Amino acid sequence: MLKKKLFALVASLAAFIAAPAWAQTKDADPAIWVVKDDDTTVYLFGTVHVLKPGLSWFDEAVKDAFDKSDEVVLEMVEPEPATMQGLIMKFGLNTTGVPFTDKLSEANRAKLATAAADLGMPVEATGAFEPWLVAVMASMAPLKKLGYEPESGAERTLSDAAKAANKPVIGLETAEQQLGFFDTLPNDLQISYLATTLQNYDKVGPMIEKMVAQWAAGDPVALGDTMNEGMRETPEIGKVLLSDRNARWAEWIEKRMEKPGTVFVAVGAGHLAGNDSVQSYLAKRRLTATRIAY
């Protein structure tokens, strides 16, 4: 019975990792940038990875840029649920048999129990997973009861629109690469990541509302500060999950500028703010990302 529950949980988690996003029925004007030369245009759009149905963001300048683009580029192309589930099981299972809960404070162990209950599983079952995966699960545990559904995600909207318009969709990374970033973190960093997640567990709802408000208002600086706060607390994790990836994506854009065409690139909005943003790395390559006013 427990094994069955674990597989069901991982299947649900796979859907959230593969297709994150948020929304409410009102207008939003999220930030979008453009990088151009004589024969190439790259639009750079920041998404919020957790949304509710109904927010009107896929219009105006965002939709105009999408419609002008020949191809769509996401952080990751969503794999089939069974494939994603298999990858999570491959990278996320704790094969060492060594428990991590004794490295958590008493307060964080209590929050872990709350998160497990919200996920519909006994807290003892979390020991079957590596700390990074428990952190991801804990960060997503409150979302369903707060009304968040992966089907409403920005990436899903963009993917569906691209399919309807016969636009090719490619990923900057694969699902295996993304899970590998977490899996290769040293165990002590995974524990730190989990501890930070649990410390902020009670703030998930208010923090998501704050992020969406900043995103909808087109305030990438404030949004970046909010989204990246936890990663800045642990610079080693921020380097792996944020700045190193931003540098690689800037390199990808630079190479793409060598080929004619128009491209719509959508990545998490946290990657488009701060001193180590994608735009900052583009500037080091003498490429200017200009924000589109609308």
CA–CA distance, 259 with 40 (Å, rounded to integer): 7
**pLDDT at position 174 over 90:** yes
pTM, to two decimals: 0.87
Which residues have a Cβ under 8 Å from the Cβ of 269 and sit 6 or more positions away?
Answer: 30, 31, 46, 47, 48, 215, 220, 223, 224, 227
Q: pLDDT for 66-106, tens place per residue?
A: 999 999 999 999 889 899 989 998 999 998 878 899 899 99
Residue-level pLDDT at 238: 85
CA–CA distance, 137 with 197 (Å, rounded to integer): 10
Q: What average pLDDT does range 163-177 have in this prediction?
A: 97
**R_g of the chain, CA atoms, integer Å:** 19
**pLDDT at position 160 over 60:** yes
Residue-level pLDDT at 25: 56
Residue-level pLDDT at 282: 98
Residue-level pLDDT at 11: 42
Higher local confidence (pLDDT), 266 or 53: 266
Q: pLDDT for 184-238, tens place per residue?
A: 999 999 999 999 999 999 988 888 888 888 999 999 989 888 877 666 667 888 8
Residue-level pLDDT at 107: 96
Residue-level pLDDT at 234: 75
Domain layout of the chain by residue ranges = 2-291
